[in-house]
């Protein structure tokens, strides 16, 4: 065997290749760099949301004693909620790009492992989330004299927890997309909003009916938003809430990644990877 083929063979035989993961990240970065609409779209909604909630906050600051105590409580809520949404979307859209371009067949006859694809999708999700959220967070500073960064380190904890929960949801939705194809495309945009009312983004969980509260606490998001209000109103970082959120994150991430990897097995049984358009 030639030296060239020998090298390629050995590179392909080993799992967890940073080169292959970076190849997939590059592929999506090329795509973003090439497409202005895609980039603008990423930042568009978070900015619109911040504008809207910024003015609502301004209004409530003089009309609601609750908001008056912590002017940023609604803006922080909307920004953190968008972290969850963008993170989930970042995973699913990147996978949809492969389905749209009918590229999965090529990827899966290359030495790329499904779990490497999984890691590259979550990396892309982080990049897309930052591109989406940062402009909105920065705009709030001059407009409303509110900087979410004043929260300090707890912000990093909240961000990471929601990011990871977004990955879990994104991977689970990606698993459905692999099996059902683009017919299920809308799930990518809709599913996460089922959780919005029970995540306590703008109001405390205890306004919900008792049995709904039980369901709400099964997800990591309410712990983050309650934790956020504790920081904003009382200046305390509740480690107990954080740990509960992280434990749930881990469970959901394992479930999401498991569903994602399992869907490739199903796809190989049902012959879905060479599917040519719908």
Ligand X SMILES: Nc1ncnc2c1ncn2[C@@H]1O[C@H](COP(=O)(O)OP(=O)(O)O)[C@@H](O)[C@H]1O
**Site residues (vs another protein, CB under 8 A):** 2, 4-5, 7-9, 11-13, 15, 17, 19-20, 22-24, 26-27, 30-31, 34-35, 97, 101-103, 105-113, 265, 268-271, 273-274, 276
Nearer to another protein, 42 or 74 (CB): 42
Cα separation, 101 vs 176, whole angstroms: 18
Taking CA atoms, 252 is separated from 201, 216, 220, in Å, by 20, 14, 9
- Please identify, using beta-carbon distances, which residue of 143 and 180 lies nearer to another protein: 180
Q: Which two tokens stand for residue 223?
A: 């712990």
Instruction: Quote the DSSP letter at residue 149.
Output: G
Binding partner at 97 among another protein, ligand X, none, C-beta below 5 to 8 Å by kind: another protein
- Binding partner selected for residue 69 from ligand X, another protein, none, CB under the kind-specific 5 to 8 Å limit: none
Between 1 and 269, CB nearer to ligand X: 269
CA distance 93 to 119: 14
Q: Are 182 and 97 in contact (CB under 8 A)?
A: no
111 vs 181, beta carbon nearer ligand X: 181
Q: Which residues contact 201 (CB under 8 A, 6 or more apart)?
A: 77, 78, 80, 81, 221, 225
Footprint of ligand X on this chain (CB under 6 A)? 270-271
Residue 235 contact, options ligand X, another protein, none, Cβ 5-8 Å cut-off depending on partner type: none
Q: Which CB sits closer to another protein, 247 or 274?
A: 274
Instruction: Please provide the distance, in angstroms rounded to a whole number, between the alpha carbons at the two ends of the chain.
Output: 42
Cα–Cα distances in angstroms (integers) from residue 263 to residues 13, 28, 206, 256, in the given order: 23, 22, 37, 11
Q: Which does 139 bind (CB under 5 to 8 A by kind): ligand X, another protein, none?
A: none
In whole angstroms, the minimum distance from the beta carbon of 110 to another protein comes to 4
């Amino acid at each position: 065997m030639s030296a060239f083929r020998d090298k390629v063979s050995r590179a392909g035989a080993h799992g967890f290749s940073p080169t292959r993961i970076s190849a997939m990240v590059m592929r999506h970065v090329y795509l973003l760099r090439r497409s202005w609409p895609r980039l603008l779209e990423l930042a568009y909604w978070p900015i619109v949301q911040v504008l809207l909630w910024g003015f609502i906050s301004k209004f409530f600051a003089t009309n609601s004693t609750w908001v008056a105590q912590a002017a940023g409580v609604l803006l922080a809520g909307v920004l953190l909620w968008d972290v969850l949404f963008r993170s989930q979307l970042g995973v699913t859209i990147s996978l949809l790009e492969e389905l749209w371009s009918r590229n999965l067949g090529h990827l899966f006859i290359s030495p790329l492992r499904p779990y490497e694809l999984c890691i590259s999708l979550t990396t892309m999700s982080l990049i897309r989330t930052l591109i989406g959220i940062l402009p909105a967070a920065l705009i709030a500073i001059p407009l409303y004299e509110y900087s979410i960064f004043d929260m300090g380190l707890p912000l990093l904890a909240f961000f990471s927890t929601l990011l990871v929960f977004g990955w879990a949801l994104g991977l689970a939705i990606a698993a459905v997309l692999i099996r059902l194809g683009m017919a299920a495309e809308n799930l990518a945009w809709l599913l996460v909003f089922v959780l919005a009312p029970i995540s306590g983004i703008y109001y405390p969980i205890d306004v919900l009916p008792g049995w709904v509260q039980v369901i709400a606490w099964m997800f990591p998001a309410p712990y983050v938003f309650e934790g956020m209000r504790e920081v904003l109103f009382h200046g305390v970082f509740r480690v107990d809430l954080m740990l509960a959120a992280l434990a749930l994150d881990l469970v959901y991430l394992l479930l999401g990644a498991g569903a994602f990897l399992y869907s490739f097995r199903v796809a190989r049984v049902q012959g879905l990877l060479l599917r040519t358009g719908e």
